[in-house]
Every structure is written in C-alpha cells, then in structure tokens.
Structure 1
Amino acid sequence: MKSKINNKQMNNFNKVKIIFLALVVVVFITSCKSKSSTPKEQKKQPYNVLFIAVDDLNDWTGFAGGHPQTQTPNMDKLAQQGIVFENANCAAPLCNPSRAALMTGFRPSTSGIYGNESELRDSPVLKEALTIPQWFSKHGFFTTARGKIFHTANGPQADTISWDKWVKEIGDYGNVKKVPGFMINGIPKGEADVNFDWGPTDGLYEETRDYLNAKWTADQLQKDYDKPFFLACGIYKPHLRWYVPQEFFDKFKEEEMIIPEINENDFDDIPSSAPKPQKNYYAAKKYKKQQAAVQAYLASINYADACVGVVLDALAESKYADNTIVVLYGDHGWHLGEKLRYKKATLWEEAANMPLIIKVPGLTQAGSRCASPVNLLDLYPTLSELCGIPSNPENEGNSIVPLLEDVNTDWDIPSLTTVGLNRHSLRSRKWRYIRYEDGQEQLYDHDVDPMEWTNLANDPKYQTVKDKFAKYLPKVNVNPVPKSYIRKND
C-alpha cells in the first residue's frame, strides 16, 4: 500500500520539524542562561554608604604625610583601596558649622551657622532642610548612626530627627591622674585654655567610647537589610581633651617627638584682622610641653585609627564589601604650633585642610590621589549621584564624581572655607586667598610656600590672581543666628 504523503509533502514536513526543534533548543538555552545568571548580571546591586567621621583630624596620618611619626595603619589601608583627596577643605574650620554645612549642603554664609553654640535648626534656612540621611531615607535608604556625626553625639545638637534609627552614645575614656593646681599635662591652671589638656588614662580600650561606637557599627554590618543602607560612625578623638588609654601613649616617646616647623616672625606680614598668636602656644613653649602635645595628639590619632580598623575589618568580612561606598573624613584641620597657635578656627591651611578618602567599588582606582581642590560640602551631591538618587537642588556643593572617575579631570573650582561673617578663604591647586570682613587680604603660593609664611596680597603683580578668586566669594553673607559665635575655648 502506497503512502498518502508524497515526497514534496515529506520535505515540507521535515523543514517544519527542524525549525520547531531549533526554536525549542533556543528557548531551552535562553532559559538555562537566565536561571544560571548571577544576581549581579540580572540586576546591579545598589550601593550602600559607610560614612566615617573623625573629629579634629588634620593631615597627621600616614596616607596624608603630615607627620613622619604617626601610626595610622587602618586608615592607610583604606587609602590604598580608594582615592585620597590631598587638597580637601572644610566649609568651616570649626565642628558645628563644618558639620552643619556638610550634612545639609548649605554654606555657613547661607545658613548663618558660624560657631559652635547654635543648634542646626536654629537657622531659618536649615529649619526644614533635608540632611543627607533624610534625603537618602526619602529615596529608599535605611539610615542609622551612632557617635559624633552632627556637632554632638547625643542631645539637641545631634539632630536625631535626621535618622531612621539613631543610637545613643555611651562610655568614656578612663580616669587620669590629677595634681592640685595643675592641668593633667603639667601646665599650671589658668595659663592655657581649660580644654587644652592631655594625658594617659587607666581605661581599657574595649570599654572606651569610640571603640563602642566602632563595635556597634561593625555589628550593623553583619545584619540583613531589605533596602540599601546609609550607616554612619562618628569617632570623637583626636578632639580635645587628649585623654586615651596608656597603651596608645606608650607607642610614642615624648622626648623623641618631632614638633612642626614654626616661624615666630610669621605675623610680620599678616594683617591685623587675622587671628592672633594664642596663649596655648606660649604656655606649651614656656613649660616645654610642645613635644608632649605632639605625643598626645599622635596617641589620640592612633587610638582613633584602631577604632576605624574595627569598622573596616567588619566591612571586609561582610557580604556588603563589594557594594558599599566608604567615605572617611576629618571635619576640619588643626594647628599644633603653626601660626603660633593650637586648635582650629582659622583660615590657614592647617585648619582648613583635612583628610578625605572615598572608595567606590567598581569605580575608583585603588591607591590613586587627587590634587584638585574639593570641599566637604561636595559630599552631599556626590553621594546622591553615586547612589543613583535625585540631586537635591538646594545643595551648594559640587558633585565630584568626575574626579572619582578620573583624578586628572580638569577641575578649576576653588574650595571655599568660612569662619565668621564675611571671613573667607579660597583654595586652588596653587593658591590660598584669604579675605576678612574689612577687606584685608592674604595670598599664598603653595608651589613655593606650603607653610604659608609669605603673604603676597600687597604685591600689585598678584592683583589679577586676587581678582579671579574674588568672583567665587559669596555674594550674600547671612548674619549669625542666635548664639552662633566662636566660643573662647573652641
């Protein structure tokens, strides 16, 4: 019996069969690839942010090279993994206005927060302002913090409303040995500011305040989250008083400490509006405590570095290591005898410049350095852009993502630092220009004068340089809000 299907029909049938089988194979392969693809291939993981603030930290770190005897292995390790901004400047060389500016994105000249006494929300401009954590929370992040991120770790100036979860700081640094009539550092009482003091304590490292903050932060990195997080850790030291456990003082021999190079004729060409030499300097010199002050500051930095290490080690061991941005910064710089002063609150390099490291997995080149001038005010828009959330149109800083992508990007925006009403400093790669409320000026060429010893402002040949800077000065300077002044002992 002959088949009812002829050869032509059979050929057509086979073609259809082959096409059908090919489609089945394609669908099967596609399905397998989809099932076997990694989460990263399916959807890029959102960035988290680990935000570490170290109070009163100047460039006396290993990675910044500010002092040859410092010991900061943990911060140095982070610097090798991210970008060091060598020319980073604060918005204000004082804790409260610096942090208010950084966390809100508004300059001191806009908010009127110039000193340490005011609460951030005292400013009409900042009363309803969305801080960085509030902005991130609004756009889908879980935000939490412990330690000094705003001006204080606890209390009204901590701005606890900024966080989805705020955690109270606890602990101290141990006890010091007191001698009647003298400060702990051996200077007679009354000859230096009451908080310009230092000395080893009997405290156990694992029971101290900053360690407990670091340990809390480390513990948060072991938790599971159903949304990206913004996690902040505030380290209080090396803020005065320099009271840290004995073990950290033991690493630095007082008699071997190298003190900064100091020019006691430095004020010969400095205008009268500038800050004056300070009694702390003369007391330390009179009682031969300059090396002891260096020892105490380096001991406090080493203590802070150990605490930072607790956090960074926890991140490295966590499942968030590959998708967490790390930002580590000092809130401003610090004088240790330069300009015949200790402390901060000036517009010179020592007070305005501070460490800044940013590590962005998959973006920043490990171990790179950037010499372009940047400002802590830039962190708000930068982190917003990195994390893919809208920019806050009220931010007065600039996103430095282009510099994170390529440290050699052309960047000619001077960095502005303000201390008080109409008192400003602008820093470029080469110059620092300072202008006071009465119009008096200072100008320093950092290519040849990194210590800022020679004021060029009165030399007519530099008028064009000053004119270029002048256009970056704030056009409007808001009067100080109530209580916003620079306290004597700050």
Structure 2
Amino acid sequence: MQEKPLFLFCLIFLFAINSYGQKEPRRPNILFIAVDDLRNELGAYEGSQAITPHLDSLAGAGSLFTHHFVQVPTCGASRHAILTGRRPYKPIHLSNRAIEVELSNKPKGTTPESFIHQFKMSGYHTVGIGKIAHSADGLVYGYEEEPSAKKELPHSWSELIFDAGKWKTGWNAFFAYANGENRQSLNKQVKPYEAGNTDDNGYPDGLTTQLAISKLKELKESNKPFLMGVGFFKPHLPFNSPKKYWDLYDRDSIKISDNPNLPENVSKESLNSNGEFNQYALGDEKATVEKSVSDNYAKKLRHAYLAAVSYIDAQVGKLLQHLKETGLDKNTIIVVWGDHGWHLGDQRMWGKHTLFDNALKSTLIIKSPLIDHQQREISTLVESVDIYPTLLEMANIETSSKLDGKSLVPLLNSQPMSKPEVAYSYFKGGISMRTPHYRLTKFFSDEQPVIELYDHTESSEERRNVAAQNPKLVQRLMPLWEKGNTGLYSQPE
C-alpha cells in the first residue's frame, strides 16, 4: 500500500465543528513577509556575519532554503514573477513597471491576477501592508508625485493599508532618513547609510510592524482565514537603521568580500555599473567597475547593510512574538522571502542587476504548522515561482492558472521534487541557468563573450568564465538551458 504524505495526515487535525455539527477544514492563515534586497545574509546561513536571532529561530523551526533563486534581479520584476507564478515572457516583465503595466489596468476576470487574489477568491481575507508589489504602499504613482488611489493589484487585497508617518507618502518613506527627509526631498544629496539616534519607530519599517501587529489583533477575532502580506523596506538603500543595530557590530572585525575583482573573461553585459548605489551623491567614495572602493569604505557599507538586516530581524521578531502570544502561530504558515540578492563589493559591484549568484540568490524561509517534522535546511535548488503553488497546496486550494513553478511541499516533508534541480533567471539581454554544479548564461547581444559558464564544483564565487575552455560541457548543458528560454528576447519591446 502506498504511504500517504505526512502533509495529508496533518490536515486531519485541522478540523473544527461548525454550529451545525458538521466538520469543516480549518484553513491555515498565511503571513507572507517580503524583505527588500535581502540576500543570504542571516546568521542561519553559512558564512554570514549578520546578527539575526529571530529569523535564525524561525529558520530552525521551519525550513531554510540555502539555494533559492529569483527570476529577475530587480524589485518590481522579481515581485511580478512571484505574484503570478510565471517566468518573464515579455520585455516588460524585466522592468520595475511590470506589475503596473501588466496587472494594474486589467479588469477583474476569472483568472486571478496574483496568488493573493487566488486566496481572496477562495474565501480568505487579504491584507497588504508595505511593499509587496513594487510600490512602497501598493499604489501607482512616481517617486516624487502625490499618491494616487490606483492600486497596483486592484483585485487582490481586501484591505491595503500603510503608515507613512512623518514622511507622508509611501515613496518618501521608502527612501527615508530619521529627520523626516528623504532621498527625493534632498535631491539625492544624501549618504547611502545612516545610524539614526531613534527607536525602531523612527524609521518606516517600525511603523509597518506596529500596524501589522494591530491588524493581527483584529484578525484574531475573525473566523475567516487570512493572508497578510508585510513588506519591509530595509536593507534596501539607503542602509538606514537605528544606531542600536549598528552597535551590535564591531566594524574592525567585519570581513569584506573575498571576491572583489571582476570575473575573468566576463562579458560587459554581465556587469552592474553601480548606478543605483551612486545615486546617493554624498557617499564617501564612488563605486566603479574599474576600481574597487577602499577597504575602509567597504567595511562601513557592509556594517550599514548588516545593521539594516538586524533592524528587520527585530521587526520580524515582534511579529513572531505576537503570533505566539495570541496562539495564531498554531495555524499560520509563515514565509520570509528576499526579493533578490545584492553585491556587497563582490565582483567589484554594489547592487543587484546582474545574472550572478550574488544578485539572484536570496533568503527564503517557510514555516508550516501543518508539518510535524519539517525539513530544517534544504539545499535543493528552488525558484521564486515555486512559492505560488506551494502556498496553494498547503491551503488545499486548486487553481486553473498556468504556473511555471512546482510545489515545494515534498521538500518540506523530506521528499524529492518531481522536477529537475534547475533555476532560470533573466536580465539585460541574458538568460541564466543555475544547476547544482554550474551557472550557464547566454546573452542575446553582439558583446563578446556571448556564453558564460561558471563552475561551482571549482568555486562558489563565480570568479572565472570557463565557457571557452569547456565547449563540450556547454553543448551538453544547452538543451536544459533551452527549456528556460521563454522567447522573451524574440518579443517586441
């Protein structure tokens, strides 16, 4: 007799008796936490310098994915992929405007616009707080414009709320400094870091935490299952956080990148010009691909990034503590997702916007109360598009939507996945494929070299493009790479 997955047995214990004496499944709540620019930089990850006790504890109780890769290394496009469960199929899917263009103007139909909409259509109360799609507060407007009433995801949220505090608008809050100013108001004449003499609520993510806890208290009294999305801004630039989180670290002991040079035989298409980072005009030094910043400045920037990560860890800790105190933790699935990675001087770059592991590998933690013996650390390669079908299976929701990902529930139950161990990513005229042993990238451009191959059996740091030395290996890998070719670059702009 075939053994049923443990996941199904756990559902037996999630039944309640309604007023008519009939058994009804108690569907799990979902707390989806999106953290901007959070690479594999938690204490739970090997080699990390981050001090993150709350997220480490969550990872120890749930599943920490050590090889999770996003579809696109930029905020809006990465979020479009996870929300829709689809890879990029059109050039706009690589843009921060992907959600605005593809979802914001669509009438309500039978096909959900996002996994959040699918849960809402299935009877969930959905609450959005902060940056879940691309906009800081879920509304469509420019960085320096007044907020509009137009929602990025017009059909997904039962409630869309945000506290912009003294910064007054979502985008001002996103680029906030402790004195109430922001990058826009100061015409970019700002530093890319700040140690604020303030408490947690002196920056917007503290207000987001406060708002989320208040809303959880309301949802506790409801009999309706909920999906709450909480989007934290840090550690996105500027690396600003209360000084007490800077004080957790001894800067002299912070290690800088041990891979600070450009990869050998690299294509110019692969490189990030550091444009986002250099927008902060009062930075101590400019970052260029021609020359690394000084070691002292690299340490300062890493210190700032780590402090911002610790600040977010504290906010997540407050949410987790509230879930425990109210008993909501017993029936709430928790997902913590970083929307992409970040180069902290690695390969002489500062930022995302590349097809290297540093920009594509990000944090993923899933904790489910439905699984008694959850796999603690999962090294299998997974993708952001896998999260949509995973949540549906956990909540026992069916969909007619076409999804590119596969459910991760087997991995959570210590069982193998039914798909090849491969992750596909897209950006700057290139498609990149990651396998357990290699990263193969092909660019659709005239810039040479067109093919890059990085051997992860030799080094995990992608220091040297070895495609020219391994033509037979490239030829062997290309059919698998081709399976990730969505025709993206054959589509008109």
Q: TM-score, normalised by structure 1?
A: 0.80
Partner of 1:424: 431
Partner of 2:454: 444
Secondary structure in 1 matching 2:270: coil
Could you tell me whether the CA contact under 8 Å between 2:375 and 2:412 is conserved in 1? Answer: no
What do the CA deviations read for 1:168-203 (whole angstroms, capped 9, x no partner)? 23235553699xxxx9xxxxx99xx97771121233
Decide whether aligned partners of structure 1 residues 285 and 303 sit closer, same or farther in structure 2, where only a CA change above 3 A counts.
same
Partner of 1:70: 50
Of 155, 158, 161, which residue of structure 2 is paired with 1:164?
158
Provide structure 1 residue ranges, at least 5 long, that are not aligned to the other structure: 1-36, 184-188, 483-490
1:274 is aligned to 2:270: yes
Report the alpha carbon displacement of residue 377 of structure 1 after superposing the two structures with TM: 1.2
Distance between the aligned counterparts of 2:79 and 2:427, measured in 1? 13
1:344 partner letter: K
Distance between the aligned counterparts of 1:124 and 1:315, measured in 2? 32
Partner of 1:122: 101
Distance between the aligned counterparts of 2:295 and 2:84, measured in 1? 42
Partner of 1:333: 341
1:156 partner letter: V
Report the alpha carbon displacement of residue 318 of structure 1 after superposing the two structures with TM: 1.9
Partner of 1:257: 254
Distance between the aligned counterparts of 2:50 and 2:474, measured in 1? 40
User: Equivalences for 1:279-294 in 2 at 5 Å?
Assistant: 280-281=287-288, 285-286=293-294, 288-294=296-302
1:214 partner letter: T
Could you tell me whether the CA contact under 8 Å between 2:77 and 2:98 is conserved in 1? Answer: no
Percent pairwise identity: 27
Secondary structure in 1 matching 2:402: coil
Decide whether aligned partners of structure 1 residues 377 and 169 sit closer, same or farther in structure 2, where only a CA change above 3 A counts.
farther
Partner of 1:208: 203
Stretch of structure 1 that moved more, 43-52 or 273-282: 273-282
Distance between the aligned counterparts of 2:199 and 2:492, measured in 1? 41
Partner of 1:27: none
What do the CA deviations read for 1:361-409 (whole angstroms, capped 9, x no partner)? 1326346111111111111111112111112422222222222222544
Secondary structure in 1 matching 2:310: helix
Report the alpha carbon displacement of residue 441 of structure 1 after superposing the two structures with TM: 1.3
Stretch of structure 1 that moved more, 49-58 or 370-379: 370-379
What do the CA deviations read for 1:10-56 (whole angstroms, capped 9, x no partner)? xxxxxxxxxxxxxxxxxxxxxxxxxxx97599544211111001100
Report the alpha carbon displacement of residue 423 of structure 1 after superposing the two structures with TM: 1.3
Decide whether aligned partners of structure 1 residues 110 and 174 sit closer, same or farther in structure 2, where only a CA change above 3 A counts.
closer
Of 352, 357, 372, which residue of structure 1 is paired with 2:380?
372
Report the alpha carbon displacement of residue 208 of structure 1 after superposing the two structures with TM: 2.5
Distance between the aligned counterparts of 2:159 and 2:26, measured in 1? 23
Distance between the aligned counterparts of 2:98 and 2:478, measured in 1? 35
Stretch of structure 1 that moved more, 85-94 or 394-403: 394-403
Distance between the aligned counterparts of 1:195 and 1:376, measured in 2? 33
Partner of 2:7: none
Of 122, 132, 137, which residue of structure 1 is paired with 2:115?
132
Distance between the aligned counterparts of 1:125 and 1:211, measured in 2? 28
Distance between the aligned counterparts of 2:85 and 2:57, measured in 1? 29
Secondary structure in 2 matching 1:443: strand
Could you tell me whether the CA contact under 8 Å between 2:124 and 2:227 is conserved in 1? Answer: yes
What do the CA deviations read for 1:253-307 (whole angstroms, capped 9, x no partner)? 322221010242x433112432156452578724831110010000000001111
Of 423, 429, 435, which residue of structure 1 is paired with 2:442?
435
Partner of 1:466: 477
Partner of 1:16: none
Provide structure 2 residue ranges, at least 5 long, that are not aligned to the other structure: 1-14, 142-150, 166-172, 275-285
Secondary structure in 2 matching 1:100: helix
Secondary structure in 2 matching 1:53: strand
Distance between the aligned counterparts of 1:418 and 1:435, measured in 2? 10
Asked which structure has the greater CA Rg, the reply is: 1
Decide whether aligned partners of structure 1 residues 366 and 123 sit closer, same or farther in structure 2, where only a CA change above 3 A counts.
closer
Could you tell me whether the CA contact under 8 Å between 1:144 and 1:231 is conserved in 2? Answer: yes
Stretch of structure 1 that moved more, 372-381 or 266-275: 266-275
Decide whether aligned partners of structure 1 residues 130 and 38 sit closer, same or farther in structure 2, where only a CA change above 3 A counts.
closer
Secondary structure in 2 matching 1:65: coil
Distance between the aligned counterparts of 1:169 and 1:107, measured in 2? 32
What do the CA deviations read for 1:414-472 (whole angstroms, capped 9, x no partner)? 1111114x411111222211111138111122232100112222222313442243232
Could you tell me whether the CA contact under 8 Å between 2:260 and 2:292 is conserved in 1? Answer: no
Distance between the aligned counterparts of 2:304 and 2:237, measured in 1? 10
Secondary structure in 1 matching 2:72: coil
Secondary structure in 2 matching 1:329: strand
Report the alpha carbon displacement of residue 77 of structure 1 after superposing the two structures with TM: 0.6
Distance between the aligned counterparts of 1:368 and 1:388, measured in 2? 23
What do the CA deviations read for 1:198-229 (whole angstroms, capped 9, x no partner)? 12123321343111111222222223123211
Distance between the aligned counterparts of 2:478 and 2:340, measured in 1? 27
Q: TM-score, normalised by structure 2?
A: 0.80
Partner of 2:228: 231
Distance between the aligned counterparts of 1:395 and 1:109, measured in 2? 13
Report the alpha carbon displacement of residue 86 of structure 1 after superposing the two structures with TM: 1.0
1:175 partner letter: A
1:244 is aligned to 2:241: yes
Partner of 2:168: none
Decide whether aligned partners of structure 1 residues 195 and 44 sit closer, same or farther in structure 2, where only a CA change above 3 A counts.
farther
What is the number of equivalent residue pairs in this alignment?
431
Decide whether aligned partners of structure 1 residues 466 and 272 sit closer, same or farther in structure 2, where only a CA change above 3 A counts.
farther
Partner of 2:144: none
Partner of 2:61: 81
Secondary structure in 1 matching 2:26: coil
RMSD over equivalenced CA pairs, Å: 3.0
Distance between the aligned counterparts of 1:61 and 1:369, measured in 2? 13
Distance between the aligned counterparts of 1:176 and 1:66, measured in 2? 35
